[in-house]
């Protein structure tokens, strides 16, 4: 098990418990009371820690290398998964996976980002950062779903689209923009789930949905906290300060209307219990898909349009008028400054 920085006190207690258990097993001395006491201390510490997470600690959990990824959710939630490959234009992008699957009796098209578990797989998957061919593959699969009237479920977990030269040469920005346009018009239900990182255009390219669900310790943002800190403070190390202002975790996104639901995770994060996490997500997906499937294709497209157009709406709050200081009259202009301006309205 890998511990994050803020989990160090829990790691210390785990080490103490293991040492006590090893000692008891080796010597035969009964120290069960002491071990039970340590377990109680650990449970209380875990509750205190995870019930009071800061926004940046949630970001760290969203990036935890032991969280379930797209293929893990597919295995835990569905049966009969058939993966599709290639964009039919350039090649295969392993950073995006997708295909048809059976979700509790419903045939769905699943598309999502896929990260790697080790260095070799991360290099293969490009750390979950797609190139244009990945987004074009995703759109090919979603258009296939529309053709055969299959609901679409997307799993977002990416720091962003890959900013490499090759991707730019092959039209990275155009691929993302085209996905946004086409997804907005697809005549089948689209359910989006942010399972980990929801970063920038890499997330948006498969994120135009009728409803967006966010895992409890995931985030959804226009850029990563480090990129925000580099822009605002010229220091990527101030990412923790940037997160609080960005409003990118579940509670804030729900209040702002960017997402529809926060899916609970086990205490300690999704990586602590994959099956419990998948069970929670299954209930949310099935409930939302059931609601969306009652809408006609025309209603889906119209409501999807209204959903995104409503973002950023606000009500004006009336307050006392602002007080402005009266500006003093400018000094008299000299004769050469009074010369007629050929570009002024008066000269027209």
Q: Check: CB of residue 151 under 8 Å from CB of residue 145.
A: yes
Backbone angles phi, psi at 117, to 5 degrees: -90, -25
Is residue 334 classed exposed, middle or buried when 0-12, 13-18 and 19+ CB atoms within 10 A define those classes? exposed
| The predicted structure's pLDDT at residue 343 | 45
Alpha-carbon gap, residue 163 to 300, rounded angstroms: 33
For residue 95, which of 69, 75, 60 has the smallest C-alpha distance? 69
Confidence at residue 2, expressed as pLDDT on a 0 to 100 scale: 86
Q: Parallel, antiparallel, or unpaired for β 96-103 and 79-83?
A: antiparallel
User: Percentage of the chain surpassing pLDDT 90?
Assistant: 77
Determine the length of the chain.
Answer: 348
- Provide the token pair at 207: 């994120």
The pLDDT tens digits for 62-71 are 999 999 999 9
DSSP 237: G
pLDDT tens across 39-90, in order?
999 999 999 999 889 999 999 999 999 999 999 999 999 999 999 999 999 9
Taken in order of first residue, the domains within the chain and their CATH numbers are 9-52 (no CATH), 60-309 (3.90.226.10)
Per the CB < 8 A criterion, the answer to whether 116 and 93 are in contact is no
Rounded Cα distance between 100 and 82, Å, is 5
pLDDT (mean) for 331-347: 49
Q: Please name the residue that has the structure tokens 């990182």.
A: 197
pLDDT, tens digit, 9 for 90 and up, residues 138-190: 999 999 999 999 999 999 999 999 999 999 999 999 999 999 999 999 999 99
Q: How far apart are CA 90 and CA 146, in angstroms?
A: 23
Q: Are 150 and 103 in contact (CB under 8 A)?
A: no
3-class secondary-structure state, position 77: helix
Q: What is the pLDDT averaged over residues 249-260?
A: 93
Residue 97 three-state SS: strand
Q: How confident is the model over 96-145, as pLDDT tens digits?
A: 999 999 999 999 999 999 999 999 999 999 999 999 999 999 999 999 99
* Residue 269: both structure tokens together: 């994060």
Residue 325 has pLDDT above 70, yes or no: no
Q: What pLDDT band is residue 332 in, cutting at 50, 70 and 90?
A: low
Q: Give the separation between CA 56 and CA 248, rounded to whole angstroms.
A: 10
194's tokens: 């942010």
| pTM of the entire predicted model | 0.85
For tokens 């059931």, the residue is: 290
Helix (H) or strand (E) holding 123: helix 119-125
CB 261: neighbour CB atoms within 10 A? 14
Bigger pLDDT: 160 or 345? 160
SS3 143: helix
Scan for tokens 């209307």, then name that residue: 257
- Cβ pair 110, 98 in contact under 8 A: yes
b or e along 145-167 (b: 16 or more beta carbons within 10 Å of the residue's beta carbon)?
Answer: bbeeebbbbbbbbbbbbbeeeeb
Q: Note the pLDDT of residue 318.
A: 62
Percent of the chain at pLDDT > 70 equals 90
Going by pLDDT thresholds of 50, 70 and 90, the confidence category of residue 25 is confident
Question: So what's the pLDDT on residue 317?
Answer: 60
Q: Which residue has the higher pLDDT, 348 or 41?
A: 41
Is the pLDDT at 191 greater than 90? The verdict is yes
């Amino acid at each position: 098990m890998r511990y994050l920085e803020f989990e160090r006190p829990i790691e210390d207690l785990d080490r103490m418990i293991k040492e006590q258990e090893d000692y008891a097993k080796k010597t035969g001395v009964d120290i069960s009371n002491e071990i039970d006491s340590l377990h109680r201390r650990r449970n209380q510490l875990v509750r205190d820690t995870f019930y009071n997470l800061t926004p940046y600690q949630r970001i760290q959990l969203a990036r935890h290398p032991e969280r379930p990824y797209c293929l893990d959710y597919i295995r835990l939630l569905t049966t009969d998964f058939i993966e599709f490959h290639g964009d039919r234009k350039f090649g295969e992008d392993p950073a995006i996976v997708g295909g048809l699957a059976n979700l509790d009796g419903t045939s769905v098209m699943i598309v999502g980002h896929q990260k790697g578990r080790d260095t070799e797989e991360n290099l293969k998957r490009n750390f979950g950062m797609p190139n244009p061919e990945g987004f074009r593959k995703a759109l090919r699969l979603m258009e296939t779903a529309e053709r055969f009237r299959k609901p679409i479920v997307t799993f977002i977990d990416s720091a962003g689209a890959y900013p490499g030269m090759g991707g730019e040469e092959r039209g990275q920005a155009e691929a993302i923009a085209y996905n946004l346009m086409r997804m907005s018009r697809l005549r089948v239900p689209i359910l989006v789930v942010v399972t980990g990182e929801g970063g920038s255009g890499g997330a948006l390219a498969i994120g135009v949905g009728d409803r967006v669900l966010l895992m409890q310790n995931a985030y959804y943002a226009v850029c990563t906290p480090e990129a925000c800190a580099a822009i605002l403070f010229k220091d990527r190390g101030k990412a923790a300060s940037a997160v609080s202002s960005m409003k990118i975790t579940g509670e804030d996104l729900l209040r702002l209307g960017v997402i529809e639901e926060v899916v609970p995770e086990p205490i300690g994060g999704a990586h602590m219990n994959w099956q419990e996490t998948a069970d929670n997500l299954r209930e949310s997906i099935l409930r939302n898909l059931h609601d969306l499937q009652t809408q006609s294709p025309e209603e889906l497209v119209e409501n999807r349009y209204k959903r995104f157009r409503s973002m950023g709406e606000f009500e004006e709050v009336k307050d006392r008028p602002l007080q402005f200081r009266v500006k003093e009259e400018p000094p008299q202009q000299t004769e050469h400054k009074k010369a007629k301006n050929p570009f002024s309205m008066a000269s027209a």
